[in-house]
Structure 1
């Protein structure tokens, strides 16, 4: 029984832009991971997040997945839940976005890598 994992993931990201990825990417991510990143940019800006690469246990994203929330975790609208594909892009309606990565105990894959950056809130998103 392992109580402490030998990796860290998640946390607060408060830079203008950056990259987040699953633990050990591009190696396989660990079992039973739950990582939460809060991306907070300057007020009057929004967060745009683009997934460069995502490869997880497939199907309907029930076992391993990434959830993107439009603000704080759980209390905000879910922008998307994904487990495969590429170049998925999400933009928050405020200066805060939360990303939650979850894996179960069955199979592990390469995981994901995504870039985020801040965009002025007054820019039209059309």
Structure 2
């Protein structure tokens, strides 16, 4: 499946599109460890406003520059954050889109796996 310029590989149907005005989403298998070797993109599309994303839990393999496992937050198709580590290593947000679409992308390699993330979103 492809979404705009971002290729999406889903793991057991865990990734997809949300069209509700508010919600909570988690990485695949959360709070257990996320799978190895995956790219999972969640698309959040709201009506009548922008998307506000706030991480409430975060644990992704840390490496300077987030060169291995990482979470990227997109305002539409424009990357606005690249995150790895724990809640004490990252800016948990809020991340606010300029339009009605935001995306959250988790990339994992074949080395280490952590529990991932939980986040909330709302329309503002």
Do Structure 1 and Structure 2 share a fold, with TM-score over 0.5?
Answer: yes
Q: Does 1:48 align with 2:52?
A: yes
CA RMSD across the alignment:
1.5
Show the counterpart of 1:106.
111
Show the counterpart of 1:78.
79
TM-score by length of 1: 0.81
Among 58, 64, 69, the alignment partner of 2:62 is 58
Does the 8 Å contact 2:11/2:38 carry over to 1? no
Aligned runs of 1:19-34 on 2, under 5 Å? Answer: 19-34=24-39
Show the counterpart of 2:74.
69
Does the 8 Å contact 1:9/1:36 carry over to 2? no
Show the counterpart of 1:97.
102
Does the 8 Å contact 1:35/1:101 carry over to 2? yes
Note the C-alpha offset of 1:84: 2.5
- What are the ranges of 5 or more consecutive residues in structure 2 without an aligned counterpart? 1-9
> Considering only CA atoms, is the larger Rg found in Structure 1 or Structure 2?
1
